[in-house]
Structure 1
């Protein structure tokens, strides 16, 4: 017996379970306005630290301390 494809009462349970499992595994969505402090770059803190270190070294070499 074939089931009609257009019958809205028929539910594909495999697809339902698969979507439910994907929703469980997916990381929680962050709100759109909740951007990290240093932006989306993962190494932004390291870049900022390197820039501060370079400025500090240049300040020491020029003879002007902090």
Structure 2
């Protein structure tokens, strides 16, 4: 895992709230495969949540539980 890539993704999601993969690729400048791998890990670790609408996948920061 690349901490720099991960931090870029988290910063973009914090700024834009919820984005699809195509938009994340454009905004982060990361390669598609790198982005998908990092997003998968962030979802598994509970930092990011994914919502699906058919083929559309939206990602956003997971809200902190009180």
TM over 0.5: no
- Which protein has the bigger strand share? 2
Shorter chain as denominator, the TM-score bin is under 0.3
TM-score by length of 1: 0.26
Larger radius of gyration: 1
- Which protein has the bigger helix share? 2
Structure of higher RCO (CA pairs closer than 8 Å, 6+ residues apart): 2
